[in-house]
Amino acid sequence: MRDLYDNVSVTQVTTPAVATATVTSSAIDLQGFNSAIVLFNMGASGDTLSSSVYWTLSLTECATSGGTYTAVATSDMSAGVSSVTVALGQDSASYKLGYIGSQRYVKAVATKTGTMTNGTIIGITSLRGSAAYKPVIY
């Protein structure tokens, strides 16, 4: 099975909603998978994004689902990108961060900087790949 459909598990880890504060996804369990990408789907911001009002998109990791999550090191991220900043003119787009670290659990975080009154629609989806057992059925 060489098709992507049978080799990737797609999970919505935050329901798209208007956010005016930091958004943290549910835990993404990587057991049985050897690769992961997290997609941040950003809607049009109701606030004027700028150099002082913006979103920072990043990942955190932990060995247990209920433990203390810490920022993922750049060396554990695909392409050496540890975070993405969404500022003026960069909303209404999708962004991806790839995880190549060794921890079992990952969370996606969209951190706001500055005052946001009207908010931005944010939805987060995980794609887990390189499954140990195929085809992936969930």
* 3-class SS of residue 92: coil
Phi, psi (deg, nearest 5) at residue 65: -65, -30
Residue 86 sits in a domain whose CATH number is 2.60.120.380
Tell whether 138 is covered by a domain. Answer: no
Tell whether 54 is covered by a domain. Answer: yes
Rounded distance, CA 134 to CA 138, Å? 11
- Residue 48 CA, distance from chain mean position: 23
> Residue 46: which domain range?
5-130
Q: What is the total count of domains within the chain?
A: 1
* 3-class SS of residue 30: coil
Q: What is the model's pTM?
A: 0.93
The predicted pLDDT at position 2 comes to 61
Tell whether 135 is covered by a domain. Answer: no
Q: Tens digits of per-residue pLDDT, 70-124?
A: 999 999 999 888 999 999 999 999 999 999 999 999 999 999 999 999 999 999 9
Q: Tens digits of per-residue pLDDT, 32-77?
A: 998 899 999 999 999 999 999 999 999 999 999 999 999 999 999 9
Tell whether 126 is covered by a domain. Answer: yes
Q: Is the CB of residue 71 less than 8 Å from the CB of residue 47?
A: no
Rounded distance, CA 30 to CA 132, Å? 11
